[in-house]
Amino acid sequence: MKKTLLATAFIVTTFVFAFAASDGAALYNKCKACHGADGTKVPAGAEEALKGQSAADIEKMLTGYKDGSFGGEKKATMQRMTANLSPEDIKALADYISKF
Ligand code: HEC
């Protein structure tokens, strides 16, 4: 009985962690239309492609859009895009994008 309980607790914990983890690839689906599937598209108003930029820079920019401290003329678009991202989501996205 004790073993079954432990096994159940283990399985539940594994599932909770699997779903709570931020998935960069899944999160990036929302960005593809403007930035391209591989980050090479430069949306109107943006200056640079995402491809080739470092995870640290991307994380800084996304955090800046979210808190309003970064952005150019079209930053309202990116403020909307980052409003609901958690710091973990931003990290996962930055990591994913830096590998294009
Ligand atoms: C509707 C189009 C659109 C979507 C969707 C979009 N972006 Fe953007 N993105 C832009 C525009 C326009 C800019 C330039 C904004 C400015 O003026 O600062 C930009 C800028 C950026 C920058 C800064 C690039 C640089 O070098 O200055 C990053 C990083 C970025 N976007 C990441 C993302 C991520 C990650 C997502 C998905 C969560 C996303 N974008 C979704 C249009 C979009």
pLDDT one-digit tens code per residue, 37-84: 999 999 999 989 999 999 999 999 999 999 999 999 999 999 999 999
Higher pLDDT, 91 or 12: 91
Residue 9 has pLDDT above 70, yes or no: no
Name the burial class of residue 70, with classes exposed (0-12), middle (13-18) and buried (19+) by CB atoms within 10 angstroms of its CB: middle
Residues 6+ apart with CB under 8 A from 12: none
pLDDT at residue 39 in the model = 98
Q: Is the CB of 35 under 6 A from ligand 1?
A: yes
Q: State in Å: Cα 97 to ligand 1 middle.
A: 12
Measured between alpha carbons, how far is residue 21 from residues 10, 42, 60, 66 in Å?
A: 17, 29, 20, 20
pLDDT of residue 21: 82
Say yes or no: CB of residue 74 within 6 Å of ligand 1. yes
